[in-house]
């Protein structure tokens, strides 16, 4: 996913920039489109180089979820299907998957529970399907 960098209203510090190794500096937002489209799937806000908030959107622009990242990168990361429905939600700590994750089908039914430790998937439990 390739993003575009924009300065959001109220930028009072240096404008957001990205180093060659992908690190952000300054204050602003980065938008990530759905593959092959111009529709925004995710937008990340940075404050003085620290990720402060992420929002996920459906292709029509409807907001799906918002995470306000804690000082240590704590929050929920979302992965979406191409229609904007939630495919996976993962607890993050230190910007690494840590704790539980939940996998959903396109109809929103939870199909699996995952357990992560410091970014590594250590257990996955598929749930029984009810037809």
> Within this chain, do residues 22 and 48 fall inside the same structural domain, yes or no?
yes
Show the tokens assigned to 94: 């230190």
Q: What are phi and psi of 85, to 5 degrees?
A: -75, 155
Mind listing the pLDDT tens digit for each residue in 57-75? 999 999 999 999 988 899 9
Separation of alpha carbons 16 and 36, rounded Å: 25
Q: Quick one: pLDDT at residue 128?
A: 75
Q: Quick one: pLDDT at residue 129?
A: 72
With a cut of 50, list the residues of the chain below it in pLDDT. 1-2, 7-13
> Within this chain, do residues 54 and 93 fall inside the same structural domain, yes or no?
no
> Within this chain, do residues 94 and 41 fall inside the same structural domain, yes or no?
no
> Within this chain, do residues 39 and 80 fall inside the same structural domain, yes or no?
no
> Within this chain, do residues 9 and 64 fall inside the same structural domain, yes or no?
yes
> Within this chain, do residues 41 and 89 fall inside the same structural domain, yes or no?
no
Domain count, the chain: 2
> Within this chain, do residues 16 and 80 fall inside the same structural domain, yes or no?
no
> Within this chain, do residues 2 and 54 fall inside the same structural domain, yes or no?
yes
pTM: 0.83
Domain hosting residue 130, numbered range: 72-131
């Amino acid at each position: 996913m390739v993003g575009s960098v924009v300065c959001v209203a109220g930028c009072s510090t240096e404008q957001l920039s990205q180093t060659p190794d992908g690190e952000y500096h300054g204050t602003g937002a980065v938008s990530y489109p759905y593959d092959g489209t111009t529709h925004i799937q995710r937008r990340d806000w940075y404050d003085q180089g620290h990720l402060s908030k992420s929002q996920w959107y459906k292709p029509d622009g409807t907001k799906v979820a918002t995470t306000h990242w804690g000082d240590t990168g704590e929050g929920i990361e979302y992965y979406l299907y191409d229609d904007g429905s939630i495919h996976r939600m993962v607890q993050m700590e230190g910007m690494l998957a840590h704790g539980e994750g939940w996998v959903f089908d396109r109809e929103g039914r939870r199909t699996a529970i995952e357990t992560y430790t410091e970014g590594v998937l250590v257990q996955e439990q598929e749930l029984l399907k009810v037809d």
